[in-house]
Chain A
Amino acid sequence: MAGALTGGAAAAGEVATTRAATEARHRRPVHQRAAAAYVVLVFAFLFSPLVVVVVFSFNAIPRMALPITDVSLRWYQGVFGDPEVVRAIVRSALAGLATAVIAGPLGIAAALGLHGLSARTRSVLLSAVLIPIMAPGLLLAIALALYYRELLRVEYSLPAAVGGHTLIALPFVILTMNAAVAGFRFSMLEAARDLGATRWQAFTTVTLPILRPAVLGAMLLSIAISVDEFIVSFFVAGRETTLPMLIWSRVVRGVDPSLNALATILLVVTSLLALLASRRTTVRV
């Protein structure tokens, strides 16, 4: 009885909704159009500076004004023809790789170690891990500069900058690896041990291969962080200028269209790395 009643009502309602839907397709309600416009605005706000840089890096004339009449790769040619720029790119690449190679294994070890602790201790430590990156970058840079000079008596250099980059990347690596380790079935290691594997063999034949995508993702993320890093490098890299430092020094000298090309290169490299990293760390079933 009740079923029949609601059934009838539903059928009547259906006719009404279909008509409404047809109309709505032509003329959405005001609040929906407002929401759509808002989303467009947010994205415009987020991306317009990047778009401007990328667009003008292809502009043939050295004036940043619209409309663009001629497209050219001259700024890119100029950039790669400049030995100072090439050296900076090489240094940034080296620093990125070194950061990944150091922060990767340290982060895996830390995540595995954290897993062995009680849930309470682990969550406290995981929050603590974030403190260095929550602290103002400038503070961290000054602290590192003093630390290197006064305590360690280390020359400001690229390796010193790598130390700083590792410090910044490590919390991200630990957090990424912690998520991967949380989904790892440690009982699988018992299976390996049962079948004759030593602890080390179980680690190399089971733990590492299963965590490999997350490890690679975390290392790519480390490269991206290092390549992008400016403040710490500025304080402790000394004369071994990295790419962001070079861009800064040129901006100080005055805006030069080749900066757009340099910035675009940096943008493409770091976004590609971050994209790859996020695809690797997404959990696969």
Chain B
Amino acid sequence: MSTESSAAIALERVTKRFGSFAAVDDVSLEVVEGEFFALLGPSGCGKTTSLRMMAGFERPDAGSIVLRGRDVTDVPPNRRPVNLVFQHYELFPHMTVFQNVAYGLRLRGVAKREIQERVGEMLHVVRVAELAARDARTLSGGQRQRVALARALVNRPAVLLLDEPLSALDVKLRKQMQLELKAIQHSLGTTFVYVTHDQEEALLMSDRVAIMDRGQVLQVGTPREIYERPAASFVADFVGSLSPFELRVDVLHDGVALMHPTPDERVAVTAPDGTHEGGSQLRAAVRPERIRLMAVGTVPAPTETALHGVIEAIDYVGTLSQYRVLTALGTLLSHRLNDDPTGAPLLGASVTVTWSADAAFVLPD
């Protein structure tokens, strides 16, 4: 048995194998009470298996699952105070919306009047109160999603588990539901564990994100930490886009590594003291929104990057344009808001490419 941590739900050194394949490999995670926690990773990374172990549908081969300080590893799903919103909702087609939402309460023998009240209230929260009498199979995708959410939340679970609940919706509806889910979580204060492969969704919705790959958790942190200070190359690459490069360090001073790909060019990267020294190889990357394109002749500060570049391609994406710039480091990606068309570089133009040292980060091995 275990732990005096404040975790709403925790995996403690959990391993789950399917045959010889370790879907989840010695994973430990703690989800704090009341937070919106995302499990983010590509398909097959073990995020859904982790979620299903929390729900009780998979039994870990090793390790334990702790719910509010209680070891629930051997507790069957129907006796765990958690609820799961399934990827394909799994509404009961032979029941009305009301009956679907009331299902859990009825099984627990809640009084009829209380069921009426709580179901009505929850349908109101997810904004489908007017659908109560409808047959579940007549609902649209978005409505199903809301009813599935109500059916789980009405039981007041200690933790609500969500398995890619928005993946079946079209983009517009998905964006809207992201904000709404976040608002619902905030107003109810329920702990959410949210599985997704969509990094944008994870960053937008969560208080904290765990990045998984090949059965392991690579990093747990706030969206900002994950995005700006990735702890692993995989994380850096999976979350957002970036331009990686590798150079030999010439000078290391005050936590800034300076490198010279050619005699009159300069690359600046923030490198924590003691991690690198002059002459060592350094792998680093910059996010596209931190790379600025200046008119040729502009002179960046001595601790900033200064590279010659030629605009190779321009990808128009509405609010911003993505410039592909050929430099001594290879092709770099730079984003520029389309708020002011004057001064926007043209295709084939020469530019000075610059970023401040703190915009670039060392890529972990």
Query: Chain A interface (Cβ within 8 Å of chain B)?
Result: 185, 187-188, 190-198, 201, 205-206, 209-210, 285
Contact = CB atoms under 8 A, between A and B. Distances in A.
B151 A190 contact: no
Given A190-B57, A190-B77, A196 B88 contact: no
B245 interface: no
B103 interface: yes
A117 B300 CA distance: 69
B55 A194 contact: yes
7 A-B pairs with least C-beta separation: A195-B104, A191-B90, A196-B107, A193-B77, A209-B94, A188-B90, A194-B84
B78 A193 contact: yes
B92 interface: yes
B262 to A, nearest CB: 55
B112 interface: no
Determine chain A's interface SS by DSSP, over half rule. Answer: helix
Nearest to B83: A194
B86 interface: yes
Contacts of A201: 107
Contact of A210 (B83, B88, B94, B103): B94
A197 B93 contact: no
Interface in B252-300: none
Interface size of B as a range: 20 to 34
A201 B151 CA distance: 17
A196 B126 CA distance: 22
> Which interface residue of B76, B77, B83, B86 has the most chain A CB atoms within 10 A?
B77
B113 interface: no
B10 to A, nearest CB: 20
A190 B155 contact: no
Contacts of B77: 190, 193-194
Contacts of B107: 195-197, 201
B86 A191 contact: yes
Interface string B109-136: 0000000000000000000000000000
A117 to B, nearest CB: 18
Given A195-B78, A196-B104, 15 more contacts: A185-B88, A185-B90, A187-B90, A190-B86, A191-B84, A191-B92, A194-B55, A194-B77, A195-B151, A196-B78, A196-B79, A197-B78, A205-B103, A210-B93, A285-B137
B108 interface: yes
A194 B108 CA distance: 12
12 contacts: A191-B90, A193-B57, A194-B78, A195-B78, A195-B83, A195-B104, A195-B151, A197-B78, A197-B107, A205-B103, A206-B94, A210-B93
Contacts of B155: 195-196
A198 B77 CA distance: 9
Contacts of A197: 78, 103, 107
Interface string B88-108: 101111100000000110011
> Which interface residue of A187, A195, A285 has the most chain B CB atoms within 10 A?
A195
A191 B77 CA distance: 10
A206 B155 CA distance: 19
B198 to A, nearest CB: 22
Given A187-B86, A191-B86, A196 B92 contact: no
Contacts of A187: 86, 88, 90
Contacts of B93: 210
A209 B155 CA distance: 23
Contacts of B83: 194-195
Interface string B127-154: 0000000000100000000000001100
B121 to A, nearest CB: 17
A188 B57 contact: no
A187 B79 CA distance: 18
A225 B104 CA distance: 41
Contacts of A192: 92, 103
Nearest to A212: B94
A198 B108 CA distance: 11
